[in-house]
Amino acid sequence: MITKQVSVFLENKSGRLNEVTQILSDAEINISAFTIADTSDFGILRLIVSDPEKACEVLKQNQFSVKTTEVVLAKTPNQPGSLSKLLKVLSEGGSFIEYMYAFSMEQDSATIVIRPASIKKCMEILQSNKDNFLFQEGEFLL
């Protein structure tokens, strides 16, 4: 599944992360997943939220530098070897991954957030290998 991720550029300053989460909370936007990459001067907060467009709007209104990016969400069984299997299929298909992160809200499955160099190529590879990614009772993992 393709979804939009919100990226927020933050100064490495105490309280900035809390400001973002408070603004989103006040706007009734739920955060499903996030990751933070940082350098000595700034960080990039990447979020999967309930309403990406509204999140961008309210954060920009509060002087944050924000952008959206398309990412692929793939579900895998929450067990050893599942991520390796997914990465092997993508690698053998020639999909380059810029970055990724994961979360698990259910005991039996995990959701992998993938930012590939080419969304189209990544989705084609996953679609053509969907038989390798069948989960419970034939449910497709994307």
Residue 128 is predicted with a pLDDT of 87
pTM for the structure as a whole: 0.84
The CATH superfamily of 75-129 is ACT domain (3.30.70.260)
Q: How many CB atoms lie within 10 A of CB 111?
A: 20
Residue 14 is predicted with a pLDDT of 86
Q: Walk along the chain (142 residues) in steps of 10 and give the mean pLDDT of each run.
A: 94 90 98 89 93 98 96 89 92 95 85 95 89 53 48
CA 97 to chain centre: 12
**Closest CA relative to residue 109, chosen from 137, 131, 71, 68:** 137
**How long a stretch of residues is the chain?**
142
Domain parsing of the chain, residue ranges: 2-70, 75-129
- Report the topology of domain 2-70: VC0802-like (3.30.2130)
